[in-house]
Amino acid sequence: MKEKQHIPAGYKSSPLGIIPEDWEVKRLGEVCTFLDNQRIPIKDADRGKMKGKYPYYGASGIIDYVNDYIFDDDLILLGEDGANIITRSTPLAFLVSGKVWINNHAHVLKANKGYNRYYICNYLESLSYDKYNTGTAQPKLNQEVCEKIPVLLPCEKEQNNISDLLSLWDTAISKQTALIEKLTIRKRGLMQQLLTGKKRLKGFEGEWKLVKLGECGKFLSNNTLSRDQLNEDGGNVQNIHYGDVLIKYPYILECNKETLPFINESAYKESMTDFVKNGDIIISDTAEDETVGKACEVQNIGTNKILAGLHTMLFRPNDGLFSPCFLGYYINSEVYHSNLIPLIQGIKVCSIGKQAIQNTSIVIPSIGEQNAITSVLVNADKEIEIQKQKLMSLQEQKKGLMQVLLTGKKRIK
């Protein structure tokens, strides 16, 4: 016999579990009007001919700006397709206001009278969409399914109160995001000045040397098997794929099981492959965007066996003459990448050859000045990282509030 569920005073049972007595459950199609039939997609080539000031939205936010608009209203967008439905790496539900253009990859919702748009958006963002996914090769939320999504609703006044409280966290998150952007721009300026010698740190003088990157160290052989070709079960060797390198230097690539796949030693010929060492620099030679040629320094290997995998280059700076950290910053600088642009091949998938990288020129100061410059940039990165941790904390706080406020587990007096 099934045990009877305990329902606290002031609460009731519902299809969404135990909820406050004065709350109700409605379908999303009753709460919002879908305006999907008004969406118009624009091809990339056509958008190139109509650049303008109006945001062009897709499933995860603004993807371009065009010279016309098709909506001028306060709306909610809900991503219709794409991996973000599962991964949730960016908001799936978000607000837009004013003159905008929206393509066919985001559902367009207009909150009906009596329902708070901000409340509904946060409620939709709080949901898991695994059970609503109708896609096979690619995740998808079709309109018919979305219209039936149950929405838990208090009265309009309480919707407003909940929205007001959550908006305090949104304001704090927005300010923190702006601070991080400000610090990032500041660091970019420091790199531009310090890595070119336009600004010298106190106590350093003398000319910098013009050298080729290939003269600063050795490019070693790496594993050429793709992840699909590797047997990751039961392996004892870790493999760095180019996707792991697409992180901004100098966030150290921590070599552990959580971040890198393990492979069996039989998957490669040891005589043809060099193991990675602490201080080595892994450079991405293939990417789908401007991150081709980006690098990260490897640290904290310990006793692990690490391989540089497919679509990466393994670079080992010369001991005592070059600071690995300085070279990592230099390789990731706008100064250096402006010289890489003519060497990059491909359009959708960009790549650059090892020979081309080896022959690129860099300008370097003495090892002492390299270390001093590195110290300034590392401190700038540490400050950015501290602020990012604060941002994550605010985001987690808001997520916790959403879990209790949008379910009625806690009420605002």
Query: Per-residue pLDDT for 220 more than 70?
Result: yes
C-beta of residue 251 within 8 angstroms of C-beta of residue 296: yes
The tens digit of pLDDT for each residue in 302-348 reads 666 666 766 778 888 887 777 768 888 888 888 888 877 777 777 77
**Token pair 């081709």: residue:** 292
Query: Per-residue pLDDT for 91 more than 90?
Result: yes
Query: Per-residue pLDDT for 108 more than 80?
Result: yes
Half-sphere CA count of 111, side-chain side, radius 13 A: 23
The tens digit of pLDDT for each residue in 277-294 reads 777 888 877 766 666 777
Determine whether 84 is exposed, middle or buried from the number of CB atoms within 10 Å of its CB (0-12, 13-18, 19+).
middle
Span 209-364: which CATH code? 3.90.220.20
Question: Looking at the chain, how many residues does it have?
Answer: 413
**Residue 112 DSSP label:** P
Q: Assess if CATH 1.10.287.1120 describes domain 155-202+366-413.
A: yes
Which of 204, 210, 196, 180 lies closest to 329 in space, CA to CA?
A: 196
Which residues make up the CATH 3.90.220.20 domain(s) of the chain?
Answer: 11-153, 209-364
Span 11-153: which CATH code? 3.90.220.20
Measured CA to CA, the distance from residue 406 to residue 413 in angstroms comes to 14
Measured CA to CA, the distance from residue 80 to residue 93 in angstroms comes to 10
The tens digit of pLDDT for each residue in 189-218 reads 999 999 989 999 999 998 999 988 888 888
Residues above pLDDT 90, as percent of the chain = 53
Which residues make up the CATH 1.10.287.1120 domain(s) of the chain?
Answer: 155-202+366-413
What predicted TM-score, i.e. pTM, was given to this entire model?
0.80
Measured CA to CA, the distance from residue 85 to residue 83 in angstroms comes to 5
